[in-house]
Structure 1
Amino acid sequence: MTRTEFIAATALILFGAFALGWLASWLVHRIARPRKSNMTDLDRMAHQLHEAEDQHTRTLAAHVEREAALRNDLARVEAENRATMEALRSSRNEIEELRDYIEQRLARR
């Protein structure tokens, strides 16, 4: 086998390998390609996924909004509670002062 024949044979083998690879790739893509019905299903699922993501975003925003409202309500109730406790403390002090006053008045008689 001469050098020219060797180069020609190698080129022919490489071209044959390339052609077989291309043919195999084409067959795999042809067989694995989704059908129209599958594409319709995929489009429907993609649409449902986008709707679910939108619903999730809306729900999350509503949750954040509700949480902020509840935090405001909690702060207001805590402030009212502090004010009520302070008024109760003040009333107890006043009651004690009145008891002391009454006891002093009764002790003088």
Structure 2
Amino acid sequence: MTRSEFIAVTALILFGAFVLGWLASWLVHRVARPAQGDMTELDRLAKQLHDAQDQRDRAIAEARDREAALNSRLTGAEAELNAAMEGLRESRSEVEELRDYIERALARR
């Protein structure tokens, strides 16, 4: 076999391998390609997924709004409680002072 024949045979083998690879790739893509019915189903599922994600995002936003409102109400209630407790302390102090005053007034008689 001469050098020219060797190059020609090698070129033919490489070209044959290229053609076989291309045919195998085409066949795999042809077989693996989804049918039109499957594409319709995939589109429907994608739309449902998108809608579900939108609903989830709305629910999360609503939960955050409710949490903020409840935290605001809790802060207000705590402020009212603190004010009431301070008023109660002052009232107890006044009652104690009045008791002392009454006891002293009664003791003078």
2:77 aligns to what? Answer: 77
Structure 1 residue runs without a partner (length 5+) = none
Q: How many residues align?
A: 109
What amino acid maps onto 2:4 in structure 1?
T
RMSD over aligned CA atoms reads 0.7
2:53 and 2:14 map into 1 onto residues whose CA distance is 50
Corresponding position: 1:97 with 2:97: yes
- Deviation at residue 5 of structure 1 after TM alignment: 0.7
Q: Distance in 1 between matches of 2:9 and 2:63?
A: 72
Q: Which amino acid aligns with 2:67?
A: E
Identity value in percent: 67
Task: Map 1:38-53; keep pairs closer than 5 Å.
Answer: 38-53=38-53
Ranges in structure 2 where 5+ consecutive residues have no aligned partner:
none
Displacement after TM superposition at 1:60 (Å): 1.0
Q: Give the drift of 1:37.
A: 1.1
TM-score by length of 1: 0.97
